[in-house]
Amino acid sequence: MAEEYLNYRNKRLFIENVDFEKLVNKFGTPLYVYSFSELTKNIKAYQEAFSSCKTLFCYACKANSNFELLRIIGRSGFGADIVSGGELFVSLKAGISPKKIVYSGVGKRGDEILYALNSDILMFNVESEEELLEINRIAISLNKKARISFRINPDVDPETHHYIATGLALSKFGIDIKEAEKLYQKAARLKGIEVVGCQMHIGSQLTKLSPIIEAAHKLVGLVKKLNKKGIKISLLDLGGGLGITYKNEKVPALSMLAKRILPLIEELGVTLILEPGRSIVGNTGVLLTKVLYLKNKRNKNFVIIDAGMNDLIRPSLYDAYHEIIPCVNKSNKMIKADIVGPVCESGDFLAKERAMPFVNNNSYLCVRSAGAYGFSMASNYNFRLKPAEVLVKGDKYYLIRDRENLSDLLVNQKTAVGV
């Protein structure tokens, strides 16, 4: 298996050195399980690849915002790339220094900007002129200066799924690179603004270096122009987006990315910021699920499981592929089936027409590469309870989020008295 922490022993699946059955018996299913060894391996890979350059890694919290995982990532020296006041709150509580936090996203509310300014974060990645003016207004009201970069849209095709492509001209994200120089000059004149950076993020699940390098060339060219005009850029943020292997994608090595990027920026004298998310946690986690029923309808097979689109929405939302393997690998008989969940939607599936070993009801499946955009996009649709999360380290395992219970479904709901 691609993930070294997943292995079969006597045809039974182990996660690091823990038998899957121990986990499902103790915590139930659906169940997210994360590998400590894989997480720390991915963190170290970035640190080693870019060790020759002054670099700040800001983990993209949206990929997986579990508190314990954030604590581990923060202790490694990483900062955080956030897109909400909630992510700021959790990152700070997890011990991540505000001086290592960058705030991205197109729709920052006034109260979120206020919170970030009072927290003294490293910088805002500004997405529009109106946002710039709002940050300036709030900073002045606090007698502060907001450190900002502009998120530049370089109009580069990232060659990924169109829902997660963010660097094209018609995307909602970023400042058109043709308008950027003028906007930087305006920002430099504002009383509540300190211009410190230049940023891009062209998309997620990128498996080719050429779009990243093309966009980086454009950003470096802009920084050189700004420096000549007296607008000193000290932070160059090239975003995140490097992909992982879900099926048969060939993902370039981090050493190759560093080899292509570092010569581009070495003359600028900047601190490089990278915002990895999926490539840190994606292959770190799996989703364990129980087979409830087998169904055959007009010679079409369905494997009905207890995990649904509310637990892992990527297949329904992006038609994303996740490899699904049996937790007990004892059947040589193969079937082709749709692997579907219990949610009342035709789009509730984890795989369609998937060739797989035959399984029985009450057996278990493992959905691989589910560490990114799995639990973080989970919901209570159909009033389904969100799953528990467990961290495995060697032969030990730790509950890092309780499974919801029925009482949790009514938390924050109110009765309209008198109605």
Q: Tens of pLDDT along 310-346?
A: 999 999 998 999 999 999 988 789 999 999 999 999 9
Percent of the chain past pLDDT 70, that is, above it, reads 95
Give the burial class of 214: count Cβ atoms within 10 A of its Cβ; 0-12 exposed, 13-18 middle, 19 or more buried. Answer: middle
Residue 171: per-residue pLDDT: 59
Q: Tens of pLDDT along 364-402?
A: 999 999 999 999 999 999 999 999 999 999 999 999 999
Residue 204: per-residue pLDDT: 74
Residue 158: per-residue pLDDT: 53
Q: Do 280 and 36 form a contact (C-beta atoms < 8 A)?
A: no
DSSP string, 251-299: PPPHHHHHHHHHHHHGGGTPEEEE---HHHHGGGEEEEEEEEEEEEETT
Q: Tens of pLDDT along 84-111?
A: 999 999 999 999 999 999 999 999 999 9
The CA–CA distances, whole Å, from 221 to 125, 236, 400 equal: 19, 12, 45
Q: Which residues contact 386 (CB under 8 A, 6 or more apart)?
A: 310, 311, 375, 378, 379, 380, 403, 404
Q: Annotated catalytic sites, by residue?
A: 344
Label residue 161 by pLDDT band (50, 70, 90): very low
Q: For the structural domain made of 6-35+282-410, what CATH number should be given?
A: 2.40.37.10
The answer to whether the peptide bond before residue 252 is cis (omega within 30 degrees of 0) is: no
Alpha-carbon distance of 414 to 401, in angstroms, equals 25
Residue in 148, 166, 162 with CA at minimum distance from that of residue 212: 166
Q: Which residues contact 371 (CB under 8 A, 6 or more apart)?
A: 32, 34, 63, 64, 281, 282, 283, 284, 285, 286
- Name the amino acid, one letter, at 324: I
Q: Would you state the structure tokens that stand for residue 235, as one six-digit string?
A: 């932070």
Find the farthest-apart pair of alpha carbons in the chain and give their distance in angstroms, rounded. 71
Q: Tens of pLDDT along 232-241?
A: 999 999 998 8
Q: Tens of pLDDT along 243-279?
A: 999 998 889 999 999 999 999 998 899 999 999 999 9
Residue 164: per-residue pLDDT: 40
Q: For the structural domain made of 36-281, what CATH number should be given?
A: 3.20.20.10
DSSP string, 199-236: E---BSSB--HHHHHHHHHHHHHHHHHHHHTT----EE
Q: What pTM does this model have? A: 0.94
Mean pLDDT (whole number) for 41-59: 96
Q: Tens of pLDDT along 340-362?
A: 999 999 999 999 999 999 999 99
- Name the amino acid, one letter, at 243: G
Q: Tens of pLDDT along 12-42?
A: 999 999 999 999 999 999 999 999 999 999 9
Do domains 6-35+282-410 and 36-281 share one topology? The answer is no
Alpha-carbon distance of 14 to 16, in angstroms, equals 6
Residue 305: per-residue pLDDT: 98
Residue ranges per domain, the chain?
6-35+282-410, 36-281
Residue 172: per-residue pLDDT: 62
Q: Do 201 and 154 form a contact (C-beta atoms < 8 A)?
A: no
Q: Tens of pLDDT along 132-159?
A: 999 999 999 999 999 999 999 887 765 4
Strand, coil or helix: 382:
helix
